[in-house]
Amino acid sequence: MFNSFGEIFRFTTFGESHGRAIGVVVDGVPAGIEFDEEFLKNELARRKPGKNRFSTQRKEDDLPEVLSGIFEGKTTGTPIGVVIFNKDQKSKDYSNIKDIFRPGHADFTYFHKYSIRDYRGGGRSSARETAARVVAGAIAKMILKELNIEIEAGVIEIGGVRAKNEDFEYAKKSEIFALDKEKEKEWIELIDKAREEHNSLGGVVKLRIKNLPIGLGEPIYYKLDNVLASAIMSINAVKGIYIGNPNAHKLTGVENNDEISKNGFLSNNAGGVLGGISNGENIEIEVYFKPTPSIFKPQKSIDINGNEVEVNLKGRHDPIVAIRGSVVVESMAACVIADMLMLNMTRTIENIKKIYQ
């Protein structure tokens, strides 16, 4: 595998949004890590649906049941299996679009690929699956905590309205947005308006990884930047990412190069990666989410027999997905970094000798 993470730390998820449960098997976790179940629950609570009017109204507890891989509070080095039972499926939400494809969602492509229309709901394509990724991310973060590596993400733009840079510091801590009350008010009004108009909004999430050592990432193919991109782009509704200064393509070389001093880089337009390898600065990434596809306005579509129809959706959907998506961004980044750290251990003879001599 050269373009997605999983050389050492890897996971696979299972389940459907409208099935009995979702879950994850995480493998490649070193033995002896304190397994912080409260932290895992908190991470799931940060992403869980139904918390406020800025998210879907589907109510799930998202309580994890740890099935394996932990003994007396520590990881055993064997696969960690975690399951989350679904509680609030309400598949009838989808009964009136049983044979119809939702514009912007994966119904059309899934049906053409598999010739099966699982009309209970979005199934595997629903971002309900991202709860399982948050479990994997929480376990990765338990590894990173041992090394003092921090990962944080927050919304910096909603419906085209961008926060001031410094708002990021607040956005990541706040339940919803910035402590800049002006900006928060503007964003909340935008979301309320979109919801009243049965519409939805896109957004931008900023991801920051702090305290990384120099040297993570392989120079060719398994670069830190392309692996992070692949992992983050695999999140539902993510349409692009930008590593480093998102205006770099508009700058000149003189403006964009980060000059170097004996104390480190004098700026961070590179976003912490050079030649696919971490350079010791913070990793800075912007992640661009599209607007939620399920909206409650009549739209043109077709049914599975190719007849043109009007779609009128019911159900419970996020007016904007970037807010809850920010937790998933952190989780995917944590998994990549955990994997890269362990892989890096094998990359010099000095490191190998440190383990075996």
Could you say which residues in the range 177-216 bind ligand EPS, by CB under 6 A? none
What is the smallest separation between the CB atom of 76 and ligand FMN, expressed in angstroms?
A: 31
275 is in an annotated binding site: yes
> Of the candidates 241, 325, 335, 340, which one interacts with ligand FMN according to CB under 6 A?
325
Starting at the edge strand found earlier in the chain, the sheet holding 161-162 runs: 161-162, 150-158, 203-210, 283-289, 238-243
Residues 253-292 as x/- pattern, contact with ligand EPS by CB under 6 A: ----------------------------------------
| Angle between helical axes of 322-344 and 130-146 (0-180°, round to 10) | 50
Two tokens at 206? 């900023």
Contact between 328 and ligand FMN by CB under 6 A: the answer reads yes
The residue assigned the tokens 């700026």 is: 267
Strand partners, 152: 208
Binding segment (CB under 6 A) for ligand EPS, from list 124-132, 179-187, 279-287, 334-342: 124-132
Could you say which residues in the range 129-168 bind ligand EPS, by CB under 6 A? 131
What is the smallest separation between the CB atom of 130 and ligand FMN, expressed in angstroms?
A: 5
Torsion of CA 213, 170, 229, 251, to 10 degrees: -90
Nearer to ligand FMN, 318 or 330 (CB): 318
235 touches which of ligand EPS, ligand FMN, none (CB within 5 to 8 A by kind)?
ligand FMN
Give the 3-state secondary structure of residue 35: coil
What is the smallest separation between the CB atom of 235 and ligand FMN, expressed in angstroms?
A: 5
Nearer to ligand EPS, 232 or 341 (CB): 232
User: Shortest CA distance to 200 belongs to which of 157, 154, 158?
Assistant: 158
Nearer to ligand FMN, 200 or 278 (CB): 200
Which residues contact residue 300 at a Cβ distance below 8 angstroms, ignoring those fewer than 6 apart?
Answer: 103, 308, 309, 310, 311
User: Shortest CA distance to 56 belongs to which of 191, 205, 207, 197?
Assistant: 191
Binding segment (CB under 6 A) for ligand EPS, from list 30-38, 180-188, 271-279, 313-321: 313-321
Contact between 56 and ligand EPS by CB under 6 A: the answer reads yes
CA angle 266, 269, 275 (to 5 degrees): 100
294 is in an annotated binding site: yes
Q: How far apart are alpha carbons 235 and 130 in whole angstroms?
A: 8
> Of the candidates 13, 75, 294, 331, which one interacts with ligand FMN according to CB under 6 A?
294
Answer yes or no: are the C-beta atoms of 187 and 161 closer than 8 Å: yes
Residues 106-135 as x/- pattern, contact with ligand FMN by CB under 6 A: x------------------xxx--x-----
> Of the candidates 29, 33, 134, 237, which one interacts with ligand FMN according to CB under 6 A?
237
DSSP characters over 311-325? E---S---SBSHHHH
Contact between 226 and ligand FMN by CB under 6 A: the answer reads no
Q: Rg for the chain (alpha carbons), in Å?
A: 21
Answer yes or no: are the C-beta atoms of 30 and 345 closer than 8 Å: no
* Largest Cα–Cα separation, the chain: 70
Contact between 331 and ligand EPS by CB under 6 A: the answer reads no
User: Shortest CA distance to 243 belongs to which of 265, 228, 257, 260?
Assistant: 228
Could you say which residues in the range 232-251 bind ligand EPS, by CB under 6 A? 236
Two tokens at 186? 């503007």
Q: Which residue is nearest to ligand FMN (CB)?
A: 294
Answer yes or no: are the C-beta atoms of 140 and 335 closer than 8 Å: yes
The contact set with ligand FMN (CB under 6 A) reads: 56, 105-106, 125-127, 130, 235-237, 290, 292-294, 317-318, 321, 324-325, 328
The contact set with ligand EPS (CB under 6 A) reads: 17, 49, 56, 58, 60, 121-122, 126-128, 131, 236, 315-317
Please give the annotated binding residues for NADP(+), written as ranges: 47, 53
Please give the annotated binding residues, written as ranges: 47, 53, 124-126, 236-237, 275, 290-294, 316
